[in-house]
Amino acid sequence: MSVLVYRDSDTLSQALATLLAGCMIEKPNSVIGLDCSAQLASAYRKIAGMTSDGLLDWACVRAFNLFEHVRQDGEPTDEARMHSMLYDRVNILPENIYSPSAQTRDWSVLCNDYENAILDVGGLDTVVCTVGADGRIACNMPNSELAPVTHVERGESGRVVTVGISTIMAAKRVIAILSGYELSTIAPLVITGPVLPGIPASYLQLHQNAIFMLDEDAAEHV
């Protein structure tokens, strides 16, 4: 586990883009789990810029979105946001983009199929995820019992399909992003506090290759 602190959110975004680019250069056929949060838009734009400059090639990369909120008809989806922020800006093949489409009500089949899709390609090499102010990771909410694999959570905005803690922990590398002063209270609990289901991101302390990336606002009490 390592903890890296950057001056501000833009510096952090550049560092994240550089780190993820290094993972892809090291393994051109990487399997990557990507957070769909708008918070990562700057980093994704920088990665897209590297691709446009010929520094990165997505032709053999597989990308799994970490979650998908259940939306009403006509509402923008997390998958659509990922296309806008990243996928439409790089040369990734459409068949190599995976998202747990929430346009179904057979949740058990959906979750099982998505988990199997990850397993069928050998698991995730790298996961990039944000940490929430309540300690959530991806959309694994604070709970007395955490679901290990892909499952449906009920959040403040309704249902969301999310990969589970065990799926994230099975990745070879996990990059966790904490940015903004609103993360300053939870950050020390996530990074150095006890590992608790009430703080899902704290489980990353047990990962041998977890990287916590913070800006100075989030790191104020770390």
pLDDT of residue 104: 64
Whether the per-residue pLDDT at 108 is higher than 70: the answer is yes
For residue 151, being part of any structural domain is answered with yes
Whether the per-residue pLDDT at 129 is higher than 70: the answer is yes
Q: Give the Å distances, CA to CA, from 100 to 36, 90, 96, 104, 123.
A: 12, 21, 13, 10, 16
Phi-psi region of 54 (alpha: psi -120 to 50; beta: other; left: phi over 0): left
> What pLDDT band is residue 51 in, cutting at 50, 70 and 90?
very high
Structural domain that includes position 34: 2-215
For residue 100, being part of any structural domain is answered with yes
How many structural domains are present in the chain? 1
Say if strands 62-65 and 97-98 run parallel, antiparallel, or are unpaired.
parallel
Whether the per-residue pLDDT at 15 is higher than 80: the answer is yes
Question: Taking a C-beta distance cutoff of 8 angstroms, is the pair 173, 166 a contact?
Answer: no
pLDDT of residue 74: 62
Task: Determine the average pLDDT of the residues in 148-177.
Answer: 92
Task: Determine the average pLDDT of the residues in 166-173.
Answer: 97
Write the CATH number for 144.
3.40.50.1360
For residue 222, being part of any structural domain is answered with no
Mean residue pLDDT of the chain comes to 94
For residue 114, being part of any structural domain is answered with yes
pLDDT of residue 105: 67
Whether the per-residue pLDDT at 144 is higher than 70: the answer is no
Q: What CA–CA distance (Å, rounded) separates 76 from 33?
A: 20
For residue 119, being part of any structural domain is answered with yes
Whether the per-residue pLDDT at 123 is higher than 90: the answer is yes
For residue 177, being part of any structural domain is answered with yes
0.85 surpassed by pTM: yes
